[in-house]
Structure 1
Amino acid sequence: MGTDCQRIRGERQLMMVKICKYDGQVVPRVQQTVQALAQIILFYTIFYIVLSALFAFCMWVFFQTLDPRIPKWKLDESLIGTNPGLGFRPMPDTGNVESTLIWYKGTDKENYKYWVKSLEEFLEVYRRPGLTPGRGQNIYNCDYSRKPGPGQVCDVDIRSWDPCTVENDFNYHKASPCIFLKLNKIYGWVPEYYNSTEGLPDQMPEELKRHIREVARTRPHELNTIWVSCEGENPADIENLGPITYIPRRGFPGYFFPFENSEGYLSPLTAIHVKNPRSGVIINIECKAWAKNIKHNRQDRVGSVHLELMID
């Protein structure tokens, strides 16, 4: 039996085809070149190992340039900028993220239960210092004459903020609820206070101006404060809102600033107690934070926050 074979190399030379003639019939047979395949597998294995090692080394060098507590871009260089926002709690449930309406029936515990529970969860880290890493050992009882030292954080003791306490259901059962305000954190931002009765802006509410003058007369050491005002947005809202009290003070004390991302830091809070809102109507409320370097824009909600309140 005679055999006549001719080798034909493929384009990539990964395989060889033998064309053999057996008794006058042409029969193709594929023959793998094991050595070539092994060389290619070894090459790509080493290639990807080296590539992964190079990527890991570059990432290691990159992270050596970063401080876990200090952002690389700060203030005007950052996306956040230098104008802190104002937020409020409780917020509507996550299924309605665009809503800012607090709506409940004051006589129905199951109905206002969500709002009380939401506030309780938000304030848990303030009530239990151990929940925030480092807060226990770094906590310091600050006041206007005792600022925190390096690495220390000021305490925010909300336990005595009656009637805005968890034990009192934040007064939601009496249809005169408490709403908590907080200022967003911006690393290194230092407020420029309205700490004088001179130069108060024209757009500042007269009632807040009177408060600042009273503080200047009786407690001048407390003037370094980011002041807060909350009022109805429209004349009807002002009438329906009724009186408001600020607990424990009307603003955020200056000793909480600047924020330097110290371990255990919690943002200062101010609670507003809406004492006698009119029931059955939606009340539009606008709260503003006041410092010389906080700008306000109602449309963009810069330096302020909008919310609605409705109690049936």
Structure 2
Amino acid sequence: MARDKEKRSCGQRLAEWRAFVWDPRSRQFLGRTGTSWGLILLFYLVFYGFLAGLFALTMWVMLQSVDPHVPKYQDRLATPGMMIRPRTEGLDVTFNVTQSQTWRHYVRALHQFLEPYNDSVQAARNAACVPGRYNEQPDDSVPNYPKRACRFNRSLLGPCAGLAPADDYGYGVGQPCVLLKVNRVINFFPGRNKSINVICAAKREEDAALLGPLQLFPPNGSIDLMYFPYYGKRVHVNYTQPVVAVQFANATANMEHYIECRLNAAGLRTDDERDKFAGRVAFRLRINRD
């Protein structure tokens, strides 16, 4: 019968651990000599350096095929999306007329969004284009030549322009304004040379009377063809996309209203159930009064 191994003391265990970390006799650190550690570090340095170089080479080759001005593949839908401003969570515009803290953030967001549309800014940066036709600007043998942008003056939005510093876009009197914008699409020619506009209505016909007549600015919610095509942010530096304002001057208070706005243009489908934002946007409005 083998004898039971003698139980090592704590000091012996500590001495063995110290010898493993650094053995002065064999000059080994953690069980390896300096040469062994050097070879291991050299291997990993070469291995990971090769991987980093391969990744950098792959990225460089890929970037040579990418145009910084126009996406190489534009497999998006033929109809651009729409969105509202002020930006809200869940497309829900809800506030209480008598409680300014419930709508002040909407006013600030609209002021901030419309700052680039100030008439003075537009006059300084953009050109007075010919309305009623596309603003095509060929490169004339100079690829990606900077393009001029057409003016969209903030004053076109009427009572929804918010030109006065204290203007509250109608939120303080229960007649709020909501801005509609069409997403930018490079080389997009909507309308087939015919006028385009935005139309808004209650999603349910039985709610139309409670929502009341809507006011659109510019009149009839029109979007002029001169703002198309868009050539991309690197070339069309000062491009200011057109917006349409809708004011709810007659909406019944303390009720939920579901509104849908659509882009009305020849050749554009806005009834695709697979994409709720293709050429349209639906949002909820509730105006509370104490």
Q: Same fold (TM over 0.5)?
A: yes
Q: CA 1:44–1:91 in 2, change beyond 3 Å: closer, same or farther? A: closer
Which residue, 83, 86, 97 being the options, matches 1:87? 83
Question: How far has the Cα of 1:298 moved from its partner?
Answer: 7.0
Q: Which residue of 1 aligns with 2:35?
A: 35
Moved over 4 A (4+): 28-31, 135-138
Bigger strand share: 1
1:52 alignment partner in structure 2 = 52
| Amino acid across the alignment from 1:172 | Y
Give the corresponding residue for 2:6: none
Q: What do the CA deviations read for 1:251-280 (whole angstroms, capped 9, x no partner)? A: 221111122112122221011122221212
**Cα pair 1:231 1:285 within 8 Å, conserved:** yes
Residue pair 1:82, 1:186 contacting (<8 A) in 2 also:
no
Q: Mark the runs of 5 or more structure 1 residues left unpaired by the alignment.
A: 1-27, 196-223
Determine if the alignment matches structure 1 residue 232 to structure 2 residue 231.
Answer: no
Distance of 2:124 and 2:176 partners within structure 1: 34
- Equivalent pairs counted in the alignment come to 243
1:265: which partner in 2?
Answer: 239
- Please say which of residues 239-248 and 42-51 is displaced more in the overlay: 42-51
Cα separation, 2, equivalents of 1:308 and 1:43: 62
Q: Could you tell me how far apart the structure 1 residues matched to 2:83 and 2:180 are?
A: 6
- Look up the equivalent residue of 1:125 and give its one-letter code: P
Change in Cα spacing, 1:192 to 1:233, as seen in structure 2 (3 Å) is same
**C-alpha deviation, 1:145, in angstroms:** 5.6
Is the alpha carbon distance of 1:307 and 1:225 closer, same or farther for their aligned partners in structure 2, counting shifts above 3 Å?
A: same
Q: For the residues of structure 2 that align with 1:154 and 1:237, how far apart are their CA atoms?
A: 38
1:90 Cα deviation after fit: 1.6
* AA at the equivalent of 1:255: M
Partner residue, 1:252: 223
The separation in 2 between residues aligned to 1:238 and 1:169, in whole angstroms, is 25
* C-alpha contact (below 8 Å) 2:132/2:225 kept by paired residues: no
The amino acid of 2:200's aligned partner reads: C
Could you tell me how far 1:29 is from its partner in structure 2?
6.8
Matches within 5 A, 1:9-28: none
- Distance in 1 (CA, whole Å) between partners of 2:59 and 2:120 is 35
Q: After the TM superposition, which residues 153-192 of structure 1 pair with which residues of structure 2 at under 5 Å, given as runs?
A: 153-159=149-155, 161-166=157-162, 167=164, 168-192=167-191
The change in CA–CA distance for 1:276 and 1:256 in structure 2 (over 3 A counts) is same
Scaled by the length of structure 2, the TM-score of the pair is 0.73
Change (3 A) 1:110 1:137: closer
Could you tell me the percent identity over the aligned residues? 28
Is the partner of 1:140 in helix, strand or coil? Answer: coil
Listed as ranges, the gaps of 5+ residues in structure 2 are 1-24, 139-146
CA distance in 1, matches of 2:155, 2:49: 57
Q: Please, what is the CA RMSD of the aligned residues?
A: 2.8
How far off its partner does 1:118 sit? 2.0
